[in-house]
Amino acid sequence: MLSYRHAFHAGNHADVLKHFVLVQLLEYFNQKDKPYWYIDTHAGAGCYSLDETFARKNAEFEEGVGRLLGRKDLPKELKSYLKLVRDLNPSGKLHLYPGSPCCAEPLLRADDKMRLFELHPADNRILNKTFADAGNKVMVLDQDGFTGINAFLPPQPRRALVLIDPPYEVKTDYRTVVAMIKESLRRFPSGTYMVWYPKLHSMQSRELPEKLKRLPGISWLNVSLDVQKPSEDGFGMHGSGLFIVNPPWTLPATLKKVMPYLVSVLGIDDGAKFEMEFKID
């Protein structure tokens, strides 16, 4: 299915969690001089106009990143992520929001590379246009990232951060994520893999992190942010989570500091909360 467009949800609470943590991981990778690859299996359009119909339909960014910009009490760990947003909006008004590729690209160094997978024709065209001048640093692929990633593992520099961020419109995506992580670890066991997942009523969304925890011999961290109680009718996303394989040892302390702040700022009702557990060797 190719009906999903992330532009409807750009800058919402799930993007805040995902992109804040993504920036933390990239900054950790940058502490070593050795180059690395950033691989995105479902890259989307790369950057999103918040003035267009898609984004304006529900204006989810107003309850997400819009609640953070302009605050004076920000934890310092959020500032690098929010600087990326501000740099796209020099007027101070929120017109553009950086998707994962546009959060990653400014942090990459001269020898680091991006590999971006996107099947949706319209988003793929936008992605190609966005990175048209990036040369061989960025490769945009019109392929299924679940399987296309195999051609790049292990990467040449033997360092990589992989974001797996499917829309989960197809229920089999949950099973495919687990199978892909298993195969990726077989090919490249030392890679860092970040899986985004929605928090829904569905059994598949609740079971995904539990299945990933049971993968043998891995270090992992699972963090989730609920912004509201689950709806009584069973519809809608009340939060989201990230499951990270081979996370930095520094990440738990960062999240313990920042997640309570995100709950307080992004929470909609008394169901707002965060949960975190990890096993880091």
Catalytic residues: 165
CA 46 to each of CA 5, 14, 35, 124, 242: distance values in angstroms, whole numbers, following the listed order: 12, 16, 22, 9, 19
In 3D space, the residue among 97, 91, 93, 90 whose CA is nearest the CA of residue 44 turns out to be: 97
Pairing of strands 37-40, 160-164: parallel
Q: Which residues pair with 122 in a beta bridge?
A: none
Give the whole-angstrom CA distance, residue 256 versus residue 238. Answer: 21
The tokens of 269 are what?
Answer: 């009702």
Q: Are 140 and 171 in contact (CB under 8 A)?
A: no
Q: Are 108 and 37 in contact (CB under 8 A)?
A: no
| CB neighbourhood size of 92 (10 A) | 8
Q: Which residues pair with 243 in a beta bridge?
A: 195, 222
Total residues found in the chain within this entry: 281
The tokens of 262 are what?
Answer: 């995100």
